[in-house]
């Protein structure tokens, strides 16, 4: 299977990126490489302003980059003050080692990442508010490529099961199987009025930006956008705020309540959130198991893995139905 998840990411050097900037965009500046998952990203600083250069994985579909650009324009119209990446210029095709790489110049957003702050002890209701605001700004947006089957879509349990075979421990594979079975047992009874839409799908503390005053101002990385259950948007955020948290229920309940206050969810969507959250955690550990075999030197791939396993093992001892009921009550 030829995929962005099993094809080696780009390997452009700093001088090569500097040359692209100079030749294609008439920009000179100091170039620094950033952490990345399947692509290659660079921060560019010069006297007139800062930019981000994004070099896509050679397996990336060009239409997914068009999707991101159109989504950013849609959001900008509906919520102009929400800080999101904006493309500056056209998508370039750059050849290297007999492969074609798609290169974009993006406007830089000034701010810190949420993980650089004490997000575990912050007002997680505010984070939920922000993700609800993001969902409101995406209302009415659609694109054919967003309807693809995608490994990071929490409802694709069949894909998750296939990837989970790379988990080495039989005990750990059974843990993942337990949560996917819970999903398949409960979600069909709830999904009759669960809405579908295009979502950002990666609202974690490495993507959410905080301003100088400590308030959340924006979000980056629209590469995992997909048409799926609307309720997955807050569920992804729930998964990350619960990681390494001494009181995961209060954390996820506060975030869900904050989201619900801005973007009201159906009762079935609230009830589904715990199953969607655990599905996301199963993707996290399964993708880490698969991709660290392929790219053992990329430590970014396993950044959440140990915390996700700890949370899954804790949740395995809990009554999921009870958590679902409690979350509905708390959010309302």
**pLDDT at 14 > cutoff 60:** yes
Asked if residue 229 and residue 315 are part of one domain, the reply reads yes
Asked if residue 76 and residue 202 are part of one domain, the reply reads no
Contact present, 197 and 138 (Cβ < 8 Å)? yes
Confidence category of residue 1, pLDDT binned at 50, 70, 90: low
pLDDT of residue 153: 98
Asked if residue 54 and residue 98 are part of one domain, the reply reads yes
Among 77, 107, 137, residue at a domain's last position? 107
**pLDDT at 309 > cutoff 90:** yes
Asked if residue 156 and residue 87 are part of one domain, the reply reads no
Write the CB contacts of 25 (distance below 8 Å, at least 6 apart in sequence): 88, 89, 105
pLDDT of residue 35: 87
Asked if residue 99 and residue 139 are part of one domain, the reply reads no
Given 3-state DSSP classes, what are the helix, strand and coil percentages for the chain, each rounded to the nearest 5? 50, 15, 35
**pLDDT at 149 > cutoff 70:** yes
At 175, which CATH number? Answer: 3.90.1200.10
Among 50, 78, 107, residue at a domain's last position? 107
* Least confident span in 76-80, 134-138, 195-199, 243-247: 243-247
Q: What percent of the chain has pLDDT over 90?
A: 89
Is 137 domain-assigned? yes
Asked if residue 146 and residue 101 are part of one domain, the reply reads no
Asked if residue 216 and residue 68 are part of one domain, the reply reads no
Reported as a single tens digit per residue, the pLDDT across 80-121 is 999 999 999 899 999 999 999 999 999 999 999 988 876 555
Written as one string, the DSSP assignment of 13-26 is -HHHHHHHHHHHH-
pLDDT of residue 193: 93
Contact present, 159 and 151 (Cβ < 8 Å)? yes
* Least confident span in 45-49, 55-59, 118-122, 324-328: 118-122
Reported as a single tens digit per residue, the pLDDT across 177-208 is 999 999 999 999 999 999 999 999 999 989 99
Q: Quick one: average pLDDT of 41-57?
A: 94
Looking at the structure of the chain, the number of domains it has is 2
Nearest to 236 by CA among 204, 272, 193, 269: 204
Is 52 domain-assigned? yes
Is 188 domain-assigned? yes
Asked if residue 181 and residue 45 are part of one domain, the reply reads no
Structural domain of 49: 14-107
Among 62, 91, 107, residue at a domain's last position? 107
Is 9 domain-assigned? no
Contact present, 258 and 129 (Cβ < 8 Å)? yes
Is 6 domain-assigned? no
Q: Which residue stretches of 79-169 are H helix? A: 124-138, 157-163
Confidence category of residue 299, pLDDT binned at 50, 70, 90: confident
Is 164 domain-assigned? yes
At 21, which CATH number? Answer: 3.30.200.20
Is 165 domain-assigned? yes
What are the distances in angstroms from CA 260 to CA 216, 245, 282? Answer: 17, 22, 24
Asked if residue 171 and residue 293 are part of one domain, the reply reads yes
Asked if residue 251 and residue 188 are part of one domain, the reply reads yes
Mean pLDDT of the chain: 95
Asked if residue 122 and residue 206 are part of one domain, the reply reads yes
Is 1 domain-assigned? no
Asked if residue 263 and residue 133 are part of one domain, the reply reads yes
* Least confident span in 26-30, 297-301, 304-308: 297-301
Reported as a single tens digit per residue, the pLDDT across 155-181 is 999 999 999 999 999 999 999 999 999
pLDDT of residue 325: 98
């Amino acid at each position: 299977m030829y995929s962005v998840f099993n094809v080696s990411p780009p390997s452009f050097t700093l001088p090569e990126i500097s040359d692209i900037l100079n030749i294609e965009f008439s920009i000179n500046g100091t170039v620094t490489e950033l952490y990345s998952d399947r692509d290659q990203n660079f921060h560019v600083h010069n006297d007139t302003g800062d930019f981000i250069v994004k070099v896509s994985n050679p397996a990336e579909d060009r239409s997914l980059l068009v999707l991101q650009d159109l989504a950013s324009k849609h959001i900008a119209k509906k919520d102009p003050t929400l800080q999101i990446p904006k493309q500056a210029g056209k998508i370039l095709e750059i050849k290297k080692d007999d492969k074609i790489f798609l290169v974009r110049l993006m406007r830089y957003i000034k701010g810190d990442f949420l993980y650089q702050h004490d997000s575990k002890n912050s007002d997680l209701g505010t984070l939920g508010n922000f993700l609800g605001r993001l969902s409101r700004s995406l209302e009415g947006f659609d694109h054919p490529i967003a309807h693809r089957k995608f490994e990071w879509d929490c409802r694709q349990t069949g894909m998750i099961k296939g990837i989970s075979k790379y988990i080495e421990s039989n005990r750990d594979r059974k843990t993942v199987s337990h949560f996917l079975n819970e999903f398949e047992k409960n979600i069909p009874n709830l999904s009759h009025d669960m809405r579908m839409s295009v979502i950002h799908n990666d609202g974690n503390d490495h993507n959410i930006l905080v301003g100088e005053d400590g308030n959340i101002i924006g979000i980056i990385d629209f590469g995992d956008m997909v048409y799926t259950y609307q309720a997955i948007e807050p569920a992804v955020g729930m998964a990350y705020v619960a990681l390494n948290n001494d009181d995961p229920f209060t954390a996820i309940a506060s975030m869900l309540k904050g989201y619900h206050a801005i973007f009201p969810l159906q009762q079935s969507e609230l009830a589904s959130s715990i199953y969607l959250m655990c599905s996301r955690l199963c993707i996290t550990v399964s993708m880490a198991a698969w991709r660290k075999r392929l790219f053992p030197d990329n430590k970014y791939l396993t950044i959440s893995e140990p915390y996700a396993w700890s949370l899954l093992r804790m949740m395995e001892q809990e009554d999921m139905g009870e958590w679902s009921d409690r979350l509905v009550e708390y959010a309302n």
